Structures are given as C-alpha cells and as structure tokens.
Structure 1
Amino acid sequence: MTDFSRPGDTGNIVPFDRRDVAEGYRTKERPPLKLLSYSEMEAMPEPEWLIEGVIQKQSTALAFGKSNSFKSFIAADLGCSVSVGQPWHGNAVAPGRVIFVATEGANGFGRLRIPTWFDYHDVPRDRRNNVFLYPKEIRLDVKDDVLALVSTMKILGPFALVVLDIFGGTMAGSEVEDKTARAWVHGIQFILRETGASVLTVAHTGWQDDTRARMHTHFWGSFDSRLRVEGNKAAMTATLTVERHKDADSSGQWGFRMERAGESLVPILDSDVKPSKSRNLSVKQNTALDALDDALQAHGVRKQGTEWPPCNVVLMEHWRQAAYRHGIADSENAEARKKAFQRIREVLQDKGIIRIYCDHVWRCFANSNNGN
C-alpha cells in the first residue's frame, strides 16, 4: 500500500534536525514545493459542476444507502447521463466518458442495466460509445491497480467520471482499517490529479446505523460530496439527498419511482416521493458519533448475555475521551467539556442512535420507514 501524495516516497517518517534546515532541503530529486501567492489564491477558479448540484468536476462523491435502496440504479442514471451529456432530471450535465467499475454483479450491470437505460431514453447506438465497464474488483489501496486504471484512462482519452460500485470491492485491506483508508484515499486523489475525472463511490450503510456509510472515519471524511439514498422496495421508490458539499451549498433532494423497463429498472423523477424525516444532527453531534466509531474500533468488545446487543460495545469513558480529542466542546474547561458531552449523549440517546447499559455504549440498529 502506497502513499500517492508524493510519487517515489516510501512513506517512512524520518526525524529532522537543524542540519537539514541549514543544508537546505532542495535537491534535483525534490524541487521546492509550489506555494500560491495571495494574487494566485484570489485567481483560483470557482468549482464547476459535472452534474449541477450533485457532483462537481474533479471531485469525490459518495452515494450511500441500505441494501435494496436502488442506489446502484441511481448511480447508473447519473453516470449514463454524463456519458451522453443529457440533463439529469433537469440538472445541467457536462458530457464526457464514464467508467463503471462493477465489483459485483458486473454481468447484470453491463448486459442489462446500462443498455436498458439507453433504450428507455431512446439514445441512438452511435451515442453510446462514451460508457465503459470494468467487470472486476479493483484495489485502490494498491499502487499497481491505481496505476493500471490511470494508464488505461489516459490511453482511451479524457474521462469525466469513474463510478465505483460497490465500495467494499475496491480495496485489498479492510474497510475499517486506518492503513487501508489512508492508502485508498491517496489512490483516489492520485486518480483525480492525473486524469481530471470525478469519482462516485457507491457504499452500504453501517450494520447498526443508517446515517452513514459502513467505513472507517478517514474514508467518511474524505469525500467532497455525500449523497444519501433511501429506498422503499415494496413501493418501488427511492430518494437522493445531498447531505454535504464541501465547497457548495449542501442542499438538494430528488424523489424517484423505479419504472420497470425490459429486465431492469430506470429511475423516473416523482415529486410525490419524499425522503424520510432527517435526524438533523448538529456538527458536534456528528463529531461525537465519529468519536464513538473510533472508540469502538480501538476498545470495542463483544458482551455475552441477552441484555447485550449482537455487536461491539465500549466503555463510556473511552467514548468520552475520544470525543474530547475530536473537539466536541469549544472550551478547554473540564467542566464545560463534561457538560457538552452530557448534552450530546442525551440527544443521541433520545433520538435512538445510541444505547447505554451498565456504563457501556453502542450504536443502535436504526429504524427507517423508507429502507430495506
């Protein structure tokens, strides 16, 4: 696993001393870093949209939802729209080549889902040449796999979008390991820099929490945009909600009914389909949940007995200390931090997001009226 941020760097941390500074850092192999002046900062361009309001150009986006929430169909809808430059349900699209990396179900994806979308939208065959499929797993935390993907994209020409479906099949390591997460994120950033394409990753929500994707917090925090998908399999409906854009207004909701077409499904915009009521967590409350994830990873244990859940739990004190490290309180005063943690804990418990028993805490299995 390689850190792509500096090609050729082994990633080893070497201690510096004053001689390094005195002798100078510049060598032929390591030219000085390019720093932007104030005027260059002012002249930096505004972010451009690949799909207006949904995915920006040369950015990373995450579409996450429960199993059977129709998120792969929505990802196909987004990607195919880009490949033909067709507005996505009224939102302007910048056209370009698209790669779908189907790490599971590639046959159905390539043979049914994509052709059905083109047929439904009456796209002529001569306009279907900008979409490509890689029907295998690809490990974006492995240097050779990333370089192979980038080389292929450069040979075939400029690409606008890479769709990774599904997240769990895009790494050699575990999705909950810090080492895997950091290598994967560096791999994605390398793809963005070298190809100029955006990357849309499709992921499942957590086993115990449908408010976020099942992944290490370093993955979760790395995406420029996060898009929540909720589906109702019985009603054949789905919604897409923008949860966050780092560099744009974080708003936007779309409701769809899933229309059968041939042997597949196509999302059709339907204003009557609404997302479930959001939990409306504050930044500090979400920070506390991230801290709980870290505490569960570092100190979580499985308890035996009917009163304990079928998942890891962690001591309240481990969570509290992790929350302090994450900065849940604006004050360094011990009493103020304690009160801030107490307030957040009570809110999360009242909302049913966490449970507490015998001075241990865990994430709840979330209940949703719109998922499956």
Structure 2
Amino acid sequence: ISQPRASELMWEHWNPRCNPPWGEDEHDHLEQKIRNAYRYNTSPPGNLTPEYRTAKAKLLFEPQDTGPKDSDEKTVGRFRFVSRAGMEHIEPPEWIIKDLLPDESYAILFGPWGSFKTFVALDMALSIACGFPVDSTWEVVQPGPVLFALSEGRSSITKRVTGWESLHFAGAMVSDFVLVDPVPTTTVSEEALDAFVGEALRRHPNGYKAVFIDTLGRAMEGADENSQRDASAMTTLAHRLRHDLGGSVLALHHTGHQDDRRPRGSSVIGADADTMVRVARRGKDRLVRLHMTKQKDAPEWDKPRLVRLHDVRTSLGASTLVAGPPTEEDLKEKTREQEAAVMEVLDREVKAILAAVTAAYVDRPGARIDDADGVRVDLAEGWVHVRASNTEDIMRITAEAPPGGAAEAMAREARMIVDGILGESGE
C-alpha cells in the first residue's frame, strides 16, 4: 500500500486501539513516523503480517503471460511453461555485454589472487550501469542498474569507482550503480534474503540489469566449496537473485591451489554456470588476459581478450588502478608473443618429426635426406615430402600423387601431433 493510504488506515483503525491514542495535535508526528518507515525500511511494508505473506505467496504462484504476443507461455513462480507450438516463439538470448555476458544468465569470472579480478569486474559493472563509457573496454548492448555485492575492501571501493568515473565517464557519478556489503550467503535465512531483495528493489523498483557477487567463496561462507550439495546451493542463490532482481548474475571466484586453470572447489561450480571466463596475469604485469572457457549458448572466444590496468589520479588526489582497453603497443606485443609461441612449438615438433622420419626411412631405397630441405621418401605409389620450409616459418607436410598407406598414415600422424601440441599451448 502507498504511504498516504498507510497513514489513513493507521489513523482510522490503528490509532483508536492505541493506549493512549495519538491526539489531534500529534497527527504530524505520526505522519513523520510513517514517512521514516517508508524511507528507511529494510523490507516491504507489512511483510511481518500473515496477510502479507499469504498475499505474496498467492501472487508468486499466479500464472502470468510472459512470452511474446503469439506465444502461450505462462510463468508460475520461477517456472515457465510453454507448448511445443509456443516454443517456436522462444527468442535467442540477448547480450548485456556483447560476446561476453548474456542476459538472464549466470556467469563466473575466476582467477588467482592478485589477477585484478575485482578491477575487471568493476569495469564491466560500471560500463553496464552508465551504458556508454568513454574509451570503453566492452560493448554494452543493454545498459541498466547494477547491484555490486562486496565482501571486503569497502573502504577502498569508492576510490576505485571514482577513478573509473574520471577515466571513462568524464568525472560524473554513475547513478545506476548500487553497492551493498557484505554479500548474501547460501546459509542466510529466508527473512534476511527477503530483506536484501526488498531494499534492492526499493532503490530500483524495476530491477537490475546485472548483479555482481565479489566473491563466490564469501557467498559460500560456512559451506564446503568441494561439496556438490553446497556448490549447488550457490547456484540456487544465484538463480534466486537473478529471478527476483532481474538481469544476470556474475560471481567472482578464485582458482584452485593445484590448478590455476580451473575454479576452486566442486566441478559443479563450473558445470552450473552459463559463462566462464578465466583471468590470467603474468608476473607483475598490468596487462591481464581473459580466456573464455565456457559460453553455453554462443561460440567461445577464439583467442584471449586483453585488459590494461591504468594508473589514474582522482580529483581528490588519490591514485588508483582502473581497467580499460589495451594500448596499441599491448596489441603488437600480443601478436609477437603468439607468433613466438607458435614458432617455438612448430620448431620443436618439426625437428622431432624429421628425426623420426629419418630414422624410419634412412635405409629405404630411394630415400633422400637433406638437412636444409627435410626428408623425401619415394614409395611405390608416389612420394611424401616432409620439410621445414626455407621461405616460410611453418611446417609443411605434402603428399603428392596417390600416396601409399604408409605415407598417408605418416602425414596424418604428423598433423595430429602438431595440432595436439598447439591445442595444449592455448595459442
């Protein structure tokens, strides 16, 4: 009910039952109490009454039309029902951040301690909240309010946000960014979670475009990350927030101690996420690499994305790091690194293959071995030529004329070896 309606009802029905009742000259005082209740409440008005809970439960399970105009889709609580014919009207997922964060999804950004995960996440969150940042790292397709749940570092977050606004938003405040701490947990009571959602919606009644949780480990405080059941509870919490607040949920998480290429804890954590992105940093470098390891409903990136951490001084004189796009020099360095890595792998594997071919065919009649040009082996039905090119830094395996079975098998095996090594190197 509205604030004026609450005032009328309390004065007409509640006040006469007070002992003693409020006097006429105290009406303004009572009005002020009601205004404060609406302004500073931590849960929706009336949520402590049985009537409110009954009405809320009834509304929650009342079927609602949620699909396109020609669809028969119905939503009951958190469940969506649609006929086979209605399935034809299900629309493909839309992007919040193009090629990264789909709408209505659950994503995890993970990496080791000190990999600048929070800076990268803040860059994503503030970009969504402002919509069109200057010199943006990301292409925001659907801007909107963002709720950022923080487990630690509250005292330094303002400096980081102000620095981002200085670099990407001409120093203006991003009004659709809301900070909350600590993070909601998987063990929190239903009443406390209702209060969390209620206050979030009071600030943005139409919901949020994204909710960030920093970190997943803190959201599972008191639980066992290695337990499949506890990890599933984290997924349930993420989907609850996504359903009640709208948009997508992105959680930050650490990598394991034994393997820094996968998230810490149960395999359920990664299996339940729609999108997984690994953050990697080399030594003390301020250039971080994002590797997409999972994108359920769209193609994964074919190569890592780069994010550069810039040193920014705020209007108050404080210095902070702010995530932004890579520089031209960063992109050149990336190309050089990739080329060097590929050449190193090819050089090593070409030498191994040439040595193997030489050993296998050195005594065969018609074999010709040239250190500069590789190995040529004459076979009954043709010949196979394995060489490291003099003019190009690549490995070339050529089968000319209809090759014999041995030549065909050798070429196929060589290709598999090189493809496998390149795949393992991540290049």
1:269 aligns with 2:319: no
Moved more, 52-61 or 142-151: 142-151
Q: Percent identity?
A: 26
Q: Is the 8 A contact 2:97 2:140 kept in 1?
A: yes
1:236 aligned to 2:283? no
1:259 equivalenced with 2:307 (yes/no): no
**How many residue pairs were aligned?**
253
Following the alignment from structure 2 to structure 1, what is the Cα–Cα distance between the partners of residues 276 and 188?
24
1:53 aligns with 2:103: no
Whether 2:141 is the aligned partner of 1:93: answer yes
Determine the C-alpha separation between the residues in 1 that align with 2:285 and 2:236: 40
1:60-75 to structure 2, matched below 5 A, reads 60-75=106-121
Write the distance in 2 (CA, Å) between the matches of 1:131 and 1:90. 17
Deviations 1:112-146 (A, max 9, x none): 11111011123453x52111111324213434343
1:259 positional shift: 1.2
Report the AA paired with residue 240 of structure 2. Answer: F
Alpha-carbon distance between aligned partners in 2 of 1:135 and 1:260, rounded to the nearest angstrom = 26
Q: Deviations over 1:237-259 (max 9, x none)?
A: 10112221111111163212211
Question: Which residues of structure 2 form unaligned runs of 5+?
Answer: 1-55, 58-75, 314-318, 343-416
Structure 2 counterpart of 1:232, one-letter code: R
Amino acid at match of 1:166: T
Counterpart pick for 1:155 among 202, 206, 219: 202
CA apart distance, 1:153: 2.4
Equivalent runs, 1:212-251 vs 2, <5 Å: 212-251=262-301
The amino acid across from 2:311 in the alignment is: R
Offset at residue 197 of structure 1 (A): 2.2
Per the alignment, in what secondary structure is the counterpart of residue 209 of structure 2? strand
Instruction: Please say if 1:205 is aligned against 2:255.
Output: yes
The higher radius of gyration belongs to 2
How far 1:65 sits from its partner (Å)? 0.7
Aligned-partner SS, 2:240: helix
Change (3 A) 1:188 1:273: farther
Query: Deviation digits for residues 281-334 of structure 1, max 9, x if unmatched?
Result: xxxxxxxxxxxxxxxxxxxxxxxxxxxxxxxxxxxxxxxxxxxxxxxxxxxxxx
Say if 1:256 and 1:269, in contact at 8 Å, map to a contact too. yes
Aligned-partner residue type, residue 121 of structure 1: H
Q: 1:207 and 1:34, CA in 2 relative to 1: closer, same or farther beyond 3 A? A: closer
CA–CA distance in structure 2, aligned partners of residues 194 and 83 of structure 1: 19
- Report deviation, 1:210: 1.1
Structure 1 residue 96, shift from structure 2 partner: 0.8
Amino acid at match of 1:269: P
CA distance in 2, matches of 1:65, 1:174: 19
Residues 3-14 of structure 1: pairs in structure 2 closer than 5 A: none
Q: Amino acid of the residue matched to residue 219 of structure 2?
A: T
In structure 2, the CA distance between the partners of 1:80 and 1:34, relative to structure 1 (3 Å rule), is closer
2:122 counterpart of 1:76 = yes
Unaligned runs of 5+ in 1: 1-6, 9-29, 279-346, 352-367
> In the aligned structure 1, how far is the partner of 2:246 from the partner of 2:80?
19
Which has the bigger relative contact order, CA under 8 A and spacing at least 6?
1
Match of 2:238 in 1: 188
Instruction: Tell me if structure 1 keeps the 8 A contact 2:308–2:325.
Output: yes
Residues 198 and 141 of structure 1: CA distance in aligned 2, closer, same or farther (over 3 Å): farther
Q: TM-score, normalised by structure 2?
A: 0.54
1:142 to 158, 163, 188: 188
Contact 1:238–1:255 (CA under 8 A) maintained in structure 2: yes
Give the Cα–Cα distance (whole angstroms) in 2 for the partners of residues 34 and 60 of structure 1: 18
The 1:107–1:273 alpha-carbon spacing in structure 2 relative to 1, beyond 3 Å, is farther
Cα RMSD for the two superposed structures: 3.0
TM-score normalised to structure 1 length: 0.62
Measure how far apart 1:192 and its partner are. Answer: 1.4
Q: Quick check: 2:127–2:140 contact (8 Å CA) kept in 1? A: no
Task: Encode CA deviations 1:341-361: one digit per residue, 9 max, x unaligned.
Answer: xxxxxx9xx99xxxxxxxxxx
More helix by share: 2
